[in-house]
DNA sequence: GATTTCACGTA
DNA sequence: CGTACGTGAAATCC
């Protein structure tokens, strides 16, 4: 089966661009003119699907120009479904789609004057491989129409391979859409209330330093809040874990490392412990989320911008730079809707166990998803208290085998044999060095492991990857449905956080937008589960600031 | 100069 | 001996 729609492949390098279909090259010219060509095609060809080797270089100029593209096919994302992994060149994508042996790929030209292959300019060379020079920007710029034509061919070949895999095609279009959404997130950014953020940073990290000497003074003052508790050891470098450990040892705090959760029990032993733990929080904001972070990542339009990727190499979640996925809670009041707008904050409830119920097709576990609080039902079925039931479910998904979960896990085995078998199989495959496949048909490779402990660690990784990865696939399907559903009301997704969505929308359409986000979940879940019995729930609230309505 | 270790933020 | 990611500072490797 081929990829649905009319395929238009776009290749961009610098200021130049080309577009091709199966009928041949349709456009070859400047990026500024490509924007008009794409806009015209998007409106006149209802079934247009945009194909690119990677979303970022091709789609960024289109998104910057304000275009909204409905359908895409991302060769890099589709390739990742086929073979797993992360970093790939277009030569590898081409070879895998063509069914060629990767080992036979010609080596890239060394640029050596005596390398005669540099004279061979054919796009597809001996053995059907792409010219190894295809990874070089200047070669790409000279061959953009060819790259676009090759992209159309590759998309069709990938479609033929993925259509043999359960859910392969829908996951490929979803992951492609996620990659385009990532370009939009990168371009548009997250709205920030700059005065509030500056206030919050000032409270923890101190005022904006005037110069380097001022920065040193503020830093020393912060250190002094800790060091004043240990007279005579004022030379201790708080940023050096070994120094801190020695200091703590001298006070009778016996810890191997100085991580916060090891130190927390000693908070009352000596005032320096609490001061150190408070210092760490302030230091984190000062270094990672301080003034230089603000200057680097928040634009003149008060938008926080990081680089987004649609699918990490491991479990398959979206990732984001500029600290977007680890913004400390104290700073979240600064994430705020623009005037006349609201934020619709939606997060999935207990998504991983619900996903496990769906992907393992365990009927009794699926029945538990009917309730808003899945763990309450599981507790009844296991005849345990709710906290113990929750620990048991999480232990099963994360591969914890020791501690208080052991008895509860046996009950899980008896009550939900199908779900537990699904997890055990994934763990065993990882331990044996084999890849696992997610519900959506994405291959996750297991890393090689030498000793038994490392093999078990890989087993925990693959056990978790089939759940976390499938949850990521459902999340992306939801996010893309939301992207389309909120658009008529002027809404736009501004943040994706694994199981949480933030939509920025005009205040006048707040209610409609919130309803659209909920409807989108039901529609996406129905499609994703194939109409199965598993229920998904979301907590959805209309707020001005991200920090509101957060339990 | 690049890589590893420690630490910690988020889910 | 619960999973993943990104970031920064210091130590370590080459």
* Tokens 């990521």 found at: A472
Q: Do A340 and A478 belong to one domain?
A: yes
| pLDDT over 80 (residue A303) | yes
More confident residue, A391 or A348: A348
Q: In the complex, which nucleotide's C1' lies nearest to the CA atom of residue A453?
A: C1
3-class secondary structure, A50: strand
Residue A233 is predicted with a pLDDT of 87
- CA A75 to chain CA centroid, nearest Å: 18
Query: Per CA to C1' distance, which residue is closest to C1?
Result: A402
pTM for this model (two decimals): 0.95
| Separation between the CA of A85 and the C1’ of C13 (whole angstroms) | 27
The three-state DSSP-derived secondary structure of A454-492 is HHHHHHHHHHHHHHHHHHHHHHHHHHHHHHHHHHHHCCE
- pLDDT tens track for A62-105: 999 999 999 999 999 999 999 998 778 999 999 999 999 998 98
Q: What is the average pLDDT across A249-270?
A: 87
- Protein CB footprint (7 Å) on chain C nucleotides: 1-11
Question: What is the average pLDDT value for chain A, to the nearest integer?
Answer: 92
In a domain, A179, yes or no: no
What's the CATH number where A135 sits?
3.30.420
Per-residue pLDDT, A31: 98
Q: What is the CATH number of the domain that holds A413?
A: 1.10.150.20
Whether residue A273 sits in one domain with residue A129: no
A382 with A290, same domain: the answer is no
Residue A207 sits in a domain of what CATH number? Answer: 1.20.1060
Residue A435 inside a domain? The answer is yes
Instruction: Convert the pLDDT of each residue in A448-480 to its tens digit.
Output: 787 888 888 899 999 999 999 999 999 999 999
Same domain, yes or no: A30 and A152: yes
Q: What is the pLDDT of residue A2?
A: 86
Q: Are residues A501 and A536 in the same domain?
A: yes
User: Would residue A176 count as lying in a domain?
Assistant: no
Beta bridge partners of A52: A74
CA–C1' distance A313–C13 (Å)?
27
Of the residues A470, A498, A515, the one at which a domain ends: A470
CATH number assigned to the domain comprising residue A545: 3.30.70.370
Whole-number Å distance, CA A312 to C1' C12? Answer: 28
Q: Kindly state whether residue A171 falls inside one of the protein's structural domains.
A: no
A17 and A99 share one domain? yes
Domain contains A177? no
What was the pLDDT predicted at A454? 86
Residue A293, pLDDT > 80, answer: yes
Residues A541 and A510 in one domain: yes
Residue A498 (CA) to nucleotide C7 (C1'), in angstroms, measures 18
CA separation for the pair A122, A128 (Å, rounded): 11
The Cα–Cα gap between A315 and A395 comes to 18
Q: Report the share of chain A in percent with pLDDT over 90.
A: 75
Q: Which domain holds residue A336?
A: 304-350+472-550
3-state SS assignment for residue A124: strand
* Range scoring the smallest mean pLDDT among A116-120, A250-254, A388-392, A446-450: A116-120
Query: Which of A414, A448, A470 finishes a domain?
Result: A470
Number of DSSP helices (H) and strands (E) in chain A, helices first = 21, 15
Per-residue pLDDT at A405: 72
Q: Do A221 and A284 have their domain in common?
A: yes
Q: What is the model's pLDDT at position A46?
A: 96
- Provide the pLDDT for residue A66: 97
What's the pLDDT score for residue A178? 97
User: For residue range A369-418, what is the model confidence (pLDDT) as tens digits?
Assistant: 999 999 999 999 999 999 899 989 999 998 887 666 778 888 999 999 99
Confidence of residue A109 (pLDDT cuts 50, 70, 90): low
Domain end (from A470, A491, A519): A470
Same domain as A477, residue A334: yes
Q: What is the mean pLDDT of residues A433-457?
A: 89
Q: Measured in angstroms, what separates residue A117's CA from nucleotide C5's C1'?
A: 41
**Residues A444, A538 share a domain:** no
What are the structure tokens assigned to A53, written together?
């080797």
A113 and A14 inside one domain:
yes
- What domain count does chain A have? 4
Which of A83, A55, A82 is closest to A179 using CA atoms? A55
- A539 is a domain residue: yes
**Separation CA A227–CA A420 (nearest Å):** 51
pLDDT at A111: 54
A521-541 pLDDT per residue, tens: 999 999 999 998 999 999 999
**A184 in a structural domain:** no
Residue A115: pLDDT over 60 = no
Write the DSSP assignment of A290-305 as a string of letters: SHHHHHHHB-TTSEE-
| Residues touching nucleic chain C (CB < 7 Å) | A 237, 239-240, 242, 287-288, 293, 306, 309, 312-315, 317, 319-323, 325-326, 394, 398-403, 453, 456-457, 460-461, 464-465, 468
Q: Is residue A151 part of a domain?
A: yes
Q: Which nucleotide is nearest to A261 (CA to C1')?
A: B8
Bridge-based pairing of strands A443-444 and A436-437 is: antiparallel
Is residue A208 located within the same domain as residue A259? yes
pLDDT-derived band at A550 (thresholds 50, 70, 90) equals: low
């Amino acid at each position: 089966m081929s990829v649905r729609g009319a395929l238009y492949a776009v290749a961009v390098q610098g200021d130049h661009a080309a577009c091709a279909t199966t009928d041949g090259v349709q456009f070859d010219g400047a990026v500024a003119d490509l924007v008009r060509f794409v806009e015209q095609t998007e409106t006149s060809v209802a079934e247009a699907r945009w194909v690119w080797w990677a979303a970022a270089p091709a789609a960024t100029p289109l998104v910057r120009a304000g275009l909204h593209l409905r359908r895409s096919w991302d060769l890099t994302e589709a390739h990742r479904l086929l073979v797993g992994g992360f970093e790939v060149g277009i030569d590898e994508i081409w070879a895998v789609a063509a069914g060629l042996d990767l080992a036979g790929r010609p080596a890239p030209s060394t640029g050596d004057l005596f390398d005669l292959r540099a004279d061979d300019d054919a796009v597809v060379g001996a053995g059907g491989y792409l010219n190894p020079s295809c990874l070089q920007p200047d070669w790409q710029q000279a061959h953009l129409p060819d790259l676009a034509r090759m992209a159309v061919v590759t998309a069709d070949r990938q479609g033929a391979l993925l259509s043999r895999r359960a859910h392969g095609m829908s996951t490929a279009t979803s992951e492609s859409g996620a990659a385009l959404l990532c370009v939009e997130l990168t371009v548009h950014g997250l709205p920030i209330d700059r005065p509030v953020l500056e206030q919050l940073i000032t409270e923890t990290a101190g005022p904006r330093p005037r110069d380097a000497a001022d920065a040193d003074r503020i830093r020393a003052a912060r250190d002094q809040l800790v060091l004043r508790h240990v007279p005579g050891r004022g030379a201790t470098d708080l940023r050096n874990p070994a120094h801190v450990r020695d200091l703590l040892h001298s006070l009778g705090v016996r810890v191997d490392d100085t991580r916060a959760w090891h130190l927390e029990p000693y908070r009352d032993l000596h005032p320096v412990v609490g001061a150190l733990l408070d210092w760490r929080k302030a230091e984190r904001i000062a270094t990672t989320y301080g003034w230089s972070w603000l200057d680097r990542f928040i634009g003149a339009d008060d938008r926080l911008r990081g680089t987004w990727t649609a699918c990490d190499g491991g479990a398959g979640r979206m990732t984001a730079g500029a600290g977007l996925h680890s913004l400390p809670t104290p700073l979240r009041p600064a994430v705020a809707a623009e005037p006349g707008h609201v934020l619709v904050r939606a997060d999935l409830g207990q998504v991983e166990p619900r996903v496990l119920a769906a992907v393992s097709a365990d009927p009794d576990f699926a029945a538990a998803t009917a309730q808003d609080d899945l763990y309450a039902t599981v507790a009844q079925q296991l005849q345990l208290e709710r906290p113990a039931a929750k620990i048991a479910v999480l232990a099963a998904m994360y591969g914890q085998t020791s501690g208080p979960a052991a008895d509860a896990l046996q009950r899980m085995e008896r009550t939900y044999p199908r779900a537990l078998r699904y997890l055990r199989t994934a763990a065993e495959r990882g331990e044996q060095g084999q890849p696992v496949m997610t519900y959506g048909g994405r291959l996750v490779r297991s890393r090689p492991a030498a000793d038994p402990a490392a093999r078990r660690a890989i087993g925990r990784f693959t056990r978790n990857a089939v759940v976390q990865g499938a949850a990521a696939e459902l999340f992306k399907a939801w996010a893309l449905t939301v992207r389309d559903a909120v658009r008529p009301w002027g809404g736009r997704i501004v943040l994706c956080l694994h199981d949480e969505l933030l939509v920025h929308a005009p205040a006048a359409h707040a209610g409609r937008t919130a309803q659209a986000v909920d409807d989108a979940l039901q529609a996406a879940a129905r499609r994703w589960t194939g109409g199965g019995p598993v229920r998904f729930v979301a907590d959805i609230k209309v707020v001005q600031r991200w920090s509101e309505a957060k339990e």
